[in-house]
Each structure stands twice: as C-alpha cells, then as structure tokens.
Structure 1
Amino acid sequence: MLAATFLPWVLLRPNRLAAGEFLRLPLPEMLLGVAAALLPALAGRFFPRAAPLLASFSLALGAWWLGSRTGAALSGQAEFARASASSGVWLWLLGAAITVYGAGLAGQRWGGAQRWLAWLWLPMVLAAALTGHFASWSVVAEYRVQHDRFLQELWQHLRLILSALGLATLIGAPLSVWASRSARVSGTVLGLAGGIQTVPSLALLGLLIAPLSALANAVPGLRSLGVSGIGVAPALTAMTLYALLPVLRNGVVALRGVLPGVLDAARGMGMTDNQRFWRVQLPLALPVWLSGIRQAAVMLVGVASVAQLIGAGGLGYFIFSGLQSGAADLILLGALPAALLAILLDIVLRGVEALLGRQLGRA
C-alpha cells in the first residue's frame, strides 16, 4: 500500500484504444495514503481493537480515490476520453484487502460487533457506487455503452453455469452412489473424470465440434433442438464433463466417510438398505457432497468464459472482444463480473453447507 501511493493512479486516454498519460495522486492525498497504509499496522501492534476499523477505512479510501481521481482526470476532456485504473489502484486494493482479511481474523477473537468492523468498507463502497461516484471509471463507461448486451451475456453466462451444474449433479449423484460401493467402479469412474480434467478447456471444446456436428446431421431432429458443432451444445457438454470430477470425488468420499457404526445402528433399528441410505447415510454425507458441488460451480464460472469462442455467449464475449481490440476496459467488463459471480456462488453454497452442518449437529 505504501508503494501504491507513489505509483500512477489513473491512465487518461483520448479514446479506448489510444496511448495515454499516467497520473499520480496529488501530494495531500499521497500523504493521506501513507498514513492510511501505516495506521492499520501500527494499530495492530499497539491498539489491536482499532485495526479492523482502520483496515476497512483504507480499503474504502482506495475505492473512493478510484472514483474521484478518474472523475478529476476526465474534467474538460472529450466525450470519448477514458480514465482507467492504473497500477497504484490495483496494488492499493490488493494490499488493503489483505489487511482487511488479517484484521478480520484478529477481530474474531473479540466477538460481538468487533468482528464486523472489518466489513464496514462494503456499505461505504456500495453507497458510493449507487450514487454514481464511479461513473467516470472507464469500465463503468464501457458498461453504459454495452448495457443491453452486458445483461444478455451475464444471463447467458449464469444459465450455462446452472445448466451444466444441474446436469453434472444429475449424472454424478447416481454414479457417486454406485462408485462408493465398489472400489473397482470408483477407480474407473474417478479415473475417467480425472482424465477429462487434464484436457484443456479450449481443446475439449474443439474436440466436441466434429462429433456433435455428425450427430446433428445423422439425427435431424436434434438440430431443431439446438444441437450442433458450435454454440450452446458443445459448451454445455464440455462444462458438464468438467464439473463431474468434483461432484463424483466428493460424493464418493462423503458416502464412504459415514461411520460404519452409525450404519450398523440403523440396521439394528430395523431399517432397510434404502432407509439407511436416505435417512442416515445421505443426510450425513450431504455437507461434504455440497462442497464438491460448490467447487464445481466456481470452476464453471471460468470455463463458461471460454465458451464464447465457439459461439455459446457469456461474459467471455467482452473478454475476447477486449483481447482482439487491445481494450483493457472491455476485458475488465467481462472479467470483474465473472470474478464477483464466482465469489457470490462460493459464499451462497458455503452458507448452505454451514446451515446443513448446524442442523445435523443439532440432530
């Protein structure tokens, strides 16, 4: 964070593609940045209870400067000018995020409201975003231009993820139950799923073009359902295959991890095999199994971005459009929402795992 205060903060360009000028923080803000970088560390040493609050302030300050500095840079510029975040912004936000994480861990020891002080940056940043404070940032400017297309591709990205995750769960669940009862079956199934993981996603998408095209030509009815060598069909197939390994692996481990004594007790109570599975084994295995589904969901966010290369749509549209034109703002317009989507899915599914774990603990 100290280094970030002396690095360029904004890159001002006359348009999206032209070279630009690097701008640094003004001296007063630079001095404030030095203080905001040092105070959490000093507080952690001498006033540890204040460290989460100061760390949260430093992260919110970096976000605030991103909006204010880009706005100041665009003052008096032409309509097509762009003000991008430069190296100082990203290094500051990285350092501040690490500081917030460390302060949050320390705050957990005190409990109560103290543990939430490290999260105060979130409402502050959300309030700034909702009031248009980041409107001058180049990524937000690109969003305004691409608003309708962005919402379309975001929905397509989410639809690909949820469809592939649902298919992988429907296929992987019965396979996991079968594999958990036989070492030979589990070795074969997990080996095949692991082998698919070794194939790069782009290569797998390419390998699926020929067989799916041949299948659509051989069975014309499939083409009317959308099956073809390019588009959603190969993307969904590849994503489902990629998601199978974490679903299968965690399912097998979870089902085998149920203590034999618990199953013996259920048998002693007169339960049938089906009753033992549905009432005892599956509920106990479900939190660990959900962890595999969570891992698959997070992984699919990245794989779905590559699906744009074969015409399946998604946030990869902006990433590859930016790569082709050399526009970093377009790349960020696709990459940042994808990263946030992965984090959100991880948080939601972790919450479901924790909820199930608490319910089983009380039971």
Structure 2
Amino acid sequence: MLAGAWLPWVLLRPNRLAPGEPLRLEPGWLLGAAALALLPALVGHWRRAWVWPAATAALALGVWLLGQQTAAALVGQAPFARASASSGAWLYLLGAGIALFGAAQAAPERRWVGWVWLGPVLAAALSGHLNAWSVVVEGRSEGARWVQELGQHLRLVGTALGLATLLGTPLAIWGAGRPRVAGAALGLSSGLQTLPSLALLGLLIAPLSALADAVPALRAAGLSGIGVSPALTALTLYALLPVVRGGLLGLQGVPAGVLDAARGMGMTRTQRLWRVQAPLALPLWLGGLRQAAVVLIGVAAVAALIGAGGLGTYIFKGLQSAASDLILLGAVPAALLAVAVDAGLRRLEGWLGTRLGRAE
C-alpha cells in the first residue's frame, strides 16, 4: 500500500484508445494515504484485533480517492476523455484487501471481516462517487447491453452446471460401489479437462455443424456449430470432473457401520442411497458443485469467441481495440461473481456439514 501511495494514481487519456498521462496524488492526499497504509502493520504489532478497522479505513480511503481523483482529472476535459485507475490505485487497494484477508484468517470467529470491503465499495458506487472512473463510464454507455451480456453469462453457467449435475450424479452413484466404473468416469472427465477451452470449442464446431445438417429438426431447435450449442457442450464437459469427483468422494466416504445399520433396519438399496448415503454425501457433493461453478464462470468468458455472448464479449472487444476499460468491464464482474458464488456455496457446504455433524 505504501508503494501504491507513491505511484501514479490516475491515468488521464484524451479518449478510450489514446495513450494516457499518469497523475500522482497531491502531497496532502499522499501523506494521508501513506499514513493509513502503515496503520494496519503498526496496530498489528500492538493489538491484532484492530487490524481489520485499520485495513477497512485504508480501503475506504483508496476507493474514495479513486473517485475523487478521477473526477478532478476530468475537469475541463472533453466529454470523451477517460480517467482510469493507474498502478498506484490498484496496488493500494490490493494491499488493503490483503490486510483485510489476513485479519479474517487471524480471527476465524470473525470471518465476516473478509467481506467488510463491500461496505465502502457499495457506498461509493451507490452514491455516484465513482461515476468519473472510466470503467463506470463505459458501463453507463453500454447500459442495457451489459445487463444482457451478464444475463447471458449467468444462463450459460447455470445451464451447463445443471446439465453436468444431471449427467454426473448418476455416474457418481453408479461408480460409488464399482471401482472400475469410478476409475473410467474420473479418467474420462479428467482427460476432457486437460484440453484447453479454446481448443475444445474449436473441436466441437465441425461435429455439431455436421449433426445440424444431418438432422434438420435439431437445426430448427437452434443447434449449430457456433454460438450457444458448442459453448454449452464444452462447459458441461468441463464441469463433469468436479461434479463426479465430489459425488464419488461423498458416497464412498459414508462409514461402513452406518450402511450396515441401515441394512439391519431392513432398508433396500434404494432406500439406503436416498435416506442415508445421499444426505451424508451432500456436503462433499456441494463442494464439487462449488468448484464446477467457479470454473464455469471463468471458462464461459471464452465462449464469446464463438458468438455465445457473455461477459467475455467485453474482454475480447477490449483486447482487440486495446481498451483496458472494456476488459475490466467484463473481467471485474466475472471475478466478483466467482467470489460471490464460491462464498455462498462454501457457506452452504459448511452449514450442511455442521447440521449433519450435530445429527450424528
């Protein structure tokens, strides 16, 4: 954070594509940011419980300074000028985030500390304080199109995760008591994950195009070599490994004594599966779903290259035009979405594990 306070904070560009002029913090703001950068380390040696308020204050100042400095940089500039966050702002905010994460890890009973960063970020965003930041400017100009691409990204991930669950759960149940079947299922799904996502999308174009030409009904239903069809196929195949592995680990981890007790009670094989094995395996199975969801959120961005849409549209549009703001417009929401999904499913996984532990 201390290094970030001294580095350029804002990059002022006459337009989206032109090279920018780096702008540093004024001496007063620089001293304040440097003081708050040192505060978490100083209070950590004295009283560890005060690290998270100090880190939160540093992060809040960083977010506020980003909005204040970008707005000040655009005064007197043309309407199409852009003020982006420079290396100093990113490094400062990263340092404050690491300090918050460390405070949460040092106090497991206060894990909520790791989410304190949402407060200043949401406050600045909802109040309009960040409206001059180039990423927000690009987001406003895209408007409904960005919402549409975000919805498409969520649809791709949700549909692929559902299809992978429908395919992977029966495979896990079938292979739970059959080592050869389990090995074959894991080997096949592991082999699919070794293929680069872009290569897999390319390999699917020819067979899906041939299938659509051979069966007109499928073409009428929307099947084609480019677009959503190959994207969903590739995403589903990528999600199979964590879903199958999570299901197998959960079902195979049920204690043998519990299954013997269920047999002694006269339960059939189906009853043992749904009343005993499935509830006990659910936390590990949810762990597999969590891993699959996080992987899909990232891989779905590549699907934009074949016309499937999603947040990757802005990433590749920004790469083609060397517009970093457009890249961030797709990459930052995707990263935040992955963090939110991982945290939500992890909490559900832990809650189920606690309840099952109490039940035992």
TM over 0.5: yes
The answer on 1:129 being equivalent to 2:125 is: yes
The CA distance in 2 between the partners of 1:48 and 1:237, in whole Å, is: 49
Counterparts of residues 141-152 of structure 1 (less than 5 Å): 141-152=137-148
Q: Which residue among 301, 320, 345 is the counterpart of 1:349? A: 345
Match of 2:279 in 1: 283
The answer to whether 1:274 aligns with 2:270 is yes
Q: Which residue of 2 aligns with 1:210?
A: 206
Task: State the Cα deviation string for residues 47-70 of structure 1 (Å, max 9, x = none).
Answer: 223221111111111111111111
Cα offsets for 1:321-363 (capped at 9, x unmatched)? 0000000000000000100111111122112212212221232
Partner of residue 246 from structure 2, selected from 233, 250, 268? 250
State the secondary structure of the residue aligned to 1:235.
Answer: helix
Identity %: 65
The one-letter code of the counterpart of 2:219 is R
Over 3 Å counting, the alpha-carbon distance change for 1:319 and 1:162 in structure 2 is: same
Partner Cα separation in structure 2 for residue 58 and residue 42 of structure 1: 13
Q: Write out aligned runs for 1:291-302 (5 A).
A: 291-302=287-298
Q: Deviations over 1:71-102 (max 9, x none)?
A: 11111111000000000011111111110111
Take 2:121 and 2:19, find their aligned partners in 1: how far apart are those partners? 30
Equivalent runs, 1:1-363 vs 2, <5 Å: 1-108=1-108, 119-363=115-359
Of the structure 1 ranges 169-178 and 48-57, higher mean CA displacement relative to structure 2 is found in 48-57
1:116 Cα deviation from its structure 2 partner? 5.0
Q: CA deviation at 1:175?
A: 0.4
Number of residue pairs aligned between Structure 1 and Structure 2? 359
- 1-structure distance, mates of 2:181, 2:12: 60
Cα distance in 2 between the residues matched to 1:330 and 1:80:
14
Give the distance between the partners of 1:215 and 1:118, measured in 2 at CA.
Answer: 49
Per mean C-alpha deviation after superposition, the further-off stretch among 328-337 and 262-271 is 262-271
- What secondary structure does 1:22 align onto? strand
Task: Tell me: CA distance 1:108–1:194, structure 2 relative to 1, closer, same or farther (3 Å).
Answer: closer
Asked whether the equivalents of residues 205 and 235 of structure 1 are also in contact (C-alpha less than 8 Å), the reply is: yes
Distance in 1 (CA, whole Å) between partners of 2:104 and 2:348 is 22
For 1:285 and 1:184, the matched residues in 2 are separated by 20
C-alpha contact (below 8 Å) 1:56/1:119 kept by paired residues = no
Give deviations 1:268-306, integer Å, cap 9, x for gaps. Answer: 111111111111111000100110000000000111100
* 1:329 match: secondary structure: helix
Alpha-carbon distance change, 142 to 244 in structure 1, aligned in 2, over 3 angstroms: same
Q: TM-score, normalised by structure 2?
A: 0.97
Mapped partners of 1:162, 1:50: distance in 2: 40
Cα offset for 1:121?
Answer: 3.8
- Cα deviation per residue 1:123-177 (whole Å; 9 max; x = unaligned)? 2321111010000000000001101110110000000000000000000000011
Cα drift, residue 119 of structure 1 = 4.6
Write the distance in 2 (CA, Å) between the matches of 1:283 and 1:217.
Answer: 45
Task: Out of 290-299 and 272-281, give the one that drifted further.
Answer: 272-281
- Following the alignment from structure 1 to structure 2, what is the Cα–Cα distance between the partners of residues 197 and 251? 17
Indicate how the Cα distance of structure 1 residues 176 and 119 shifts in structure 2: closer, same or farther if over 3 A, else same: closer
Change (3 A) 1:176 1:124: same
C-alpha deviations, 1:227-264, integer Å up to 9, x for none? 00001000000000000000011111111011101101
Distance apart, 1:118 and its partner CA: 6.1
Contact 1:56/1:118 (8 A) holds in 2: no
Shift in alpha-carbon separation, 1:118–1:281, aligned structure 2, 3 A: closer
Unaligned runs of 5+ in 1: none
Q: Residue deviations 1:5-28, cap 9 Å, x none?
A: 110100000000011100001101
Q: Secondary structure at the match of 1:228?
A: coil
How far apart are the structure 2 equivalents of 1:152 and 1:117? 33
Could you tell me which amino acid in structure 2 is paired with residue 26 of structure 1? E
CA distance in 1, matches of 2:205, 2:83: 41
State the TM-score, normalized to the length of structure 1. 0.96
CA shift at 1:120, angstroms? 4.1
Give me the whole-angstrom Cα distance separating, in 1, the residues matched to 2:181 and 2:52.
Answer: 50
Q: Is the deviation greater in 20-29 or in 46-55?
A: 46-55
Consecutive unaligned residues in structure 2, runs of 5 or more: none
User: How far apart, CA to CA, are the structure 2 residues paired with 1:122 and 1:252?
Assistant: 36
SS of the residue 2:11 aligns to: strand
